[in-house]
Amino acid sequence: MKGADSAKNTLLNEIIKCRACRFCVDACATYQASEGVETMSAYGRLQSLRYLLMGTLDLDDSLVYSLYSCLQCKQCEIVCESKGQSLEICSIIQLGRSLLSQKLEKGESDAAI
Interaction site with other proteins (CB under 8 A) = 16-17, 19-23, 25-27, 29-30, 32-39, 43-44, 47-48, 51, 54, 56-66, 68-75, 77-79, 82-86, 94-102, 104-105, 107
Helix, strand or coil, per DSSP, at residue 10: helix
Task: Name, in order, each residue with C-beta under 8 angstroms of 79's C-beta and a sequence gap of 6 or more.
Answer: 23, 24, 27
Helix, strand or coil, per DSSP, at residue 28: coil
Q: How far is the CB of 2 from other proteins (least distance, A)?
A: 14
Looking at residue 88, the DSSP 8-state letter turns out to be -
Q: How far is the CB of 14 from other proteins (least distance, A)?
A: 11
Closer to other proteins by CB, 78 or 112: give it.
78
Q: How far is the CB of 66 from other proteins (least distance, A)?
A: 6
Closer to other proteins by CB, 2 or 35: give it.
35
Q: How far is the CB of 112 from other proteins (least distance, A)?
A: 15
How crowded is residue 58: how many other Cβ atoms within 10 Å of its Cβ? 14
* CA separation for the pair 15, 30 (Å, rounded): 20
